[in-house]
Every structure is written in structure tokens, then in C-alpha cells.
Amino acid sequence: MRHLGIDYGTKKIGLALSDEAGTMGFPKGIVPNDSRAIDEVQKLIRTEQVECIVMGESIAPSGQENPVAKGARVFAEALTEATGVTVVFEPEMYTTQEAKRDFEGVHVSRSGNVDASAAALILTSYLSRDYGK
């Protein structure tokens, strides 16, 4: 079963895909968070035959939803409505910071790599607990 991981941000949305066996997430890319985002992600879902979407659940250190979380929930609902694919949420505290550490000292376009890598971390976390099987 193919899974799509999403690291939702107010400006960019990081994307990752699982391997065919659904055991690990791999960075796929980013899409701008604009009026075309749902269409772009929907195309990827169709092309890659995604059967489950795993979106990072943005929670503040206090345990409360942060401002990004509301936008993520609206995006998830719109994506499910457009595709019929279920969205599940995976806790994602500090995944972007963890992904940034992976690129320390690398002088390439880091921001896109970081967002897609954060999506892969979220997806792999979900898959590692056998939820995806």
C-alpha cells in the first residue's frame, strides 16, 4: 500500500511517499501552499496510487494545537473530499528541526529538502508502528 506523508506549512507543503511495501517514507518534494495546492497533491495521489495520507499533527509544546494546526485540518478535509483518500494525523513535534539537522553544512536549496524530509520523518514514524499495514 502506498502512503503519502504531508508536512503542512503556511507557505509550503512538504511531501513524501512510502515504498511499495509501506515500510518507510522518502522525500518527494514540495508544493506552494496556494490555491493550486489541493490540485497538485491530488495529481500526485492519482499518479502514485496513494491509498492513505499521513499528515503531521502540529501541536505546541504545551500540548495545545498551534495556529498551523487549524489550517492543516482544513486542508486535510478538503483533500479527503477531493480524493476520497483518508487522512490520518501523526504527532510531528520538531520534525522540521530534525530534518534541518540532516542538512547542516549542505549548500543546496535546503528549504524544499527540509520540508520534504520532515514529511518523510512524519510518514516513517507512522509506518514504524505498523499502523499502515
C-alpha 34/C-alpha 36 separation (Å) is 5
The answer on pLDDT for 103 being more than 50 is no
pLDDT at 124: 92
User: What total number of domains does the chain contain?
Assistant: 1
What's the whole-model pTM score?
0.84
Q: Per the structure block, which three cell numbers stand in for 132?
A: 499502515
Report if residue 108 sits inside a domain: yes
The answer on pLDDT for 85 being more than 70 is yes
Report if residue 133 sits inside a domain: no
The answer on pLDDT for 111 being more than 50 is no
Task: Identify the three-state secondary structure at position 12.
Answer: strand
Report if residue 22 sits inside a domain: yes
Domain of residue 71, residue span: 2-128
For residue 17, what is the domain's CATH number? 3.30.420.140
Report if residue 38 sits inside a domain: yes
Report if residue 35 sits inside a domain: yes
The mean per-residue pLDDT over the stretch 82-100 comes to 76
Angle, helix 37-48 to helix 67-83, in steps of 10 degrees: 50
